[in-house]
């Protein structure tokens, strides 16, 4: 039985004051929601603030990138060990914005994934196709290529230590969400691909959907059998929206009890 996860990706947003207000609204609202896991992936400069504010809560700390190298002469890099130092549990790797805006190849993403695993961080590995790729019938091939690059570098077993996020590029920050059926179809394909090599690992693999998830569409997406929660961008910056999405992950029953 997989536990749902809702992770906020703040991207390059926030400041000390707005972060504090957001966290102080989110933390007490999520405290009674025991049946799912929650995280916020904050920009590097705010790790200390978020670490301090999240202490004792049921919201885990994550961030949005990690250097593929362990340490040394890599100006501007932030290593996995540094993230661990700040109490990080999750790190997003291979987000489409990093693949496109920063030119990260499948191989670089795989090295970053390996660095995270080595330091016992949980990578949230983002995979997903562009609109042109979808319209050319390439969705499955693109996602398989992105996954295979990680498996080749780190082994299949390493997938047991990660979370996958299926994020169709055409749905990220566009307001255009994949339908629950579109998301389910790709999630099922990812799980089947892993199951072909290791059924148990596939059954336990948490696969998030990301791409314009909002309070209004979260419940329908999370009701799909292979959708195990969400990676939430824009909507994670508004406390009410994020809280409502987290509530959708635990389902109506627990909300009534809370
Ligand atoms: C994301 O940044 O991972 C994301 C899914 O963004 P948004 O929810 O804004 O589409």
The string of pLDDT tens digits covering residues 38-69 is 999 999 999 999 999 999 999 999 999 999 99
Structure tokens at 241: 């929206």
- In angstroms, the CA 185 to CA 205 distance is 16
- For residue 255, is pLDDT > 70? no
Question: What's the pLDDT score for residue 136?
Answer: 97
CATH of the domain at 222: 3.20.20.70
- For residue 80, is pLDDT > 80? yes
Question: What's the pLDDT score for residue 253?
Answer: 47
**Long-range interactions of 66-75: CB distance < 8 A, separation 24+:** 66/91, 66/93, 66/112, 66/115, 66/116, 66/121, 67/112, 67/115, 68/108, 68/111, 68/112, 68/114, 68/115, 69/115, 70/115, 70/118
Report the share of the chain in percent with pLDDT over 70: 97
* Residue where the block lists tokens 């896991």: 37
CB-based contact 232:6 (threshold 8 Å): yes
- For residue 257, is pLDDT > 90? no
Closest-lying ligand 1 atom to the alpha carbon of residue 234 = 9
| Residue 210 near ligand 1, beta carbon < 6 Å | yes
Write the burial class of residue 108 (CB in 10 Å: 0-12 exposed, 13-18 middle, 19+ buried).
Answer: middle
- In angstroms, the CA 30 to CA 84 distance is 24
pTM greater than the 0.85 cutoff = yes
| Residue 172 near ligand 1, beta carbon < 6 Å | yes
Domain interval for residue 62: 4-257
pLDDT bin (cut points 50, 70, 90) of residue 1 is: confident
- Tell me the pLDDT tens digit for each residue of 206-247: 999 999 999 999 999 999 999 999 999 999 999 999 999 999
Cα 153 to ligand 1 centroid, rounded to whole Å = 27
- For residue 258, is pLDDT > 50? no
Question: What's the pLDDT score for residue 66?
Answer: 98
Closest-lying ligand 1 atom to the alpha carbon of residue 175 = 10
The mean pLDDT value of the chain amounts to 96
Rounded mean pLDDT of 92-121? 98
| Residue 147 near ligand 1, beta carbon < 6 Å | no
| Residue positions annotated with a catalytic role | 95, 167
Short-list 6, 103, 113, CA closest to 66: 113
- Tell me the pLDDT tens digit for each residue of 121-150: 999 999 999 999 999 999 999 999 999 999
Domain count, the chain: 1
Cα 167 to ligand 1 centroid, rounded to whole Å = 8
| Residue 211 near ligand 1, beta carbon < 6 Å | yes
- In angstroms, the CA 45 to CA 116 distance is 19
Question: What's the pLDDT score for residue 23?
Answer: 98
Question: What's the pLDDT score for residue 254?
Answer: 56
Structure tokens at 37: 């896991």
Question: What's the pLDDT score for residue 42?
Answer: 98
- For residue 252, is pLDDT > 80? no
pLDDT bin (cut points 50, 70, 90) of residue 191 is: very high
Closest-lying ligand 1 atom to the alpha carbon of residue 172 = 10
Nearest residue CA, atom 2 of ligand 1? 233
| Residue 94 near ligand 1, beta carbon < 6 Å | no
- Tell me the pLDDT tens digit for each residue of 14-38: 999 999 999 999 999 999 999 999 9
């Amino acid at each position: 039985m997989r536990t749902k996860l809702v992770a906020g990706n703040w991207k390059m947003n926030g400041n000390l004051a707005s972060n504090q207000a957001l966290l102080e609204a989110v933390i007490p609202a999520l405290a009674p929601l025991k049946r799912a896991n929650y995280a916020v992936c904050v920009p590097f400069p705010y790790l200390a603030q978020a670490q301090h504010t999240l202490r004792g809560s049921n919201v885990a700390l994550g961030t949005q990138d990690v250097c593929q190298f362990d340490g040394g002469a890599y100006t501007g890099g932030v290593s996995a060990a540094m993230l661990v130092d700040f109490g990080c549990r999750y790190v997003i790797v291979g987000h489409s914005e990093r693949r496109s805006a920063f030119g990260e190849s499948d191989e670089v993403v795989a090295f970053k994934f390996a660095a995270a695993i080595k330091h016992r961080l949980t990578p949230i590995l983002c995979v997903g196709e562009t609109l042109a790729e979808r319209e050319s019938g390439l969705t499955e091939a693109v996602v398989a290529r992105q996954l295979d690059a990680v498996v080749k570098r780190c082994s299949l077993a390493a997938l047991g230590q990660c979370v996958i996020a299926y994020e169709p590029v055409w749905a990220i920050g566009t307001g255009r969400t994949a339908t629950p059926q579109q998301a389910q179809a790709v999630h099922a394909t990812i799980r089947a691909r892993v199951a072909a090599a290791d059924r148990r690992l596939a059954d336990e693999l948490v696969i998030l959907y990301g791409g314009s998830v909002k309070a209004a569409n979260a419940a329908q997406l999370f009701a799909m059998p292979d959708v195990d929660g969400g990676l939430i961008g824009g909507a994670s910056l508004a406390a009410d929206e994020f809280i409502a999405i987290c509530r959708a992950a635990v389902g109506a029953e627990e909300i009534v009890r809370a």
